[in-house]
Amino acid sequence: MDNPKEPTAATPAAEWPLWEIFVRSRAGLDHKHCGSLHAADPKMAIQLARDVYTRRQEGSSIWVVRSDQIVASDPGDKGMYFDPMEDKVYRHPTFYQLPDAVDHM
């Protein structure tokens, strides 16, 4: 993150790189992706993120990550990756029928 790569072919040389912005709305909650923006360096990305994504106290902490550094699963593999969990209902507590007397377990 502190070491931006050379602009890739997808980003024209003169364009500031793209950053993904994650905001923690308040202490105790996790950082959540809220959008992206262009900035020349990490410090500027955080400053701009404050102005773009927290104008109404939406945040108490910001993470920025270069978009080209994120590795994502392939949307084409979505079915293969995630569907196998569909028939594993026994992983959920509601699968187990218990007598009323102990059902709060």
Chain positions contacting other proteins, by CB under 8 A: 2-4, 10-12, 14-16, 18, 34-38, 40-41, 44, 51-53, 55-56, 72, 74-75
Q: Which residue, 56 or 92, has its beta carbon nearer to other proteins? A: 56
Min. distance of Cβ 103 from other proteins in angstroms? 34
| DSSP-assigned states of every residue in the chain | --SPPPPPTTS-TTSPPEEEEEEE-STTS--EEEEEEE-SSHHHHHHHHHHHH-TTS--SEEEEEEGGG-----GGGHHHHHGGGGG-GGGSGGGS---GGGTT-
Q: Which residue, 14 or 102, has its beta carbon nearer to other proteins? A: 14
Q: How far apart are CA 43 and CA 49, in angstroms?
A: 10
Min. distance of Cβ 43 from other proteins in angstroms? 9
Q: Which residue, 35 or 82, has its beta carbon nearer to other proteins? A: 35
Min. distance of Cβ 12 from other proteins in angstroms? 6
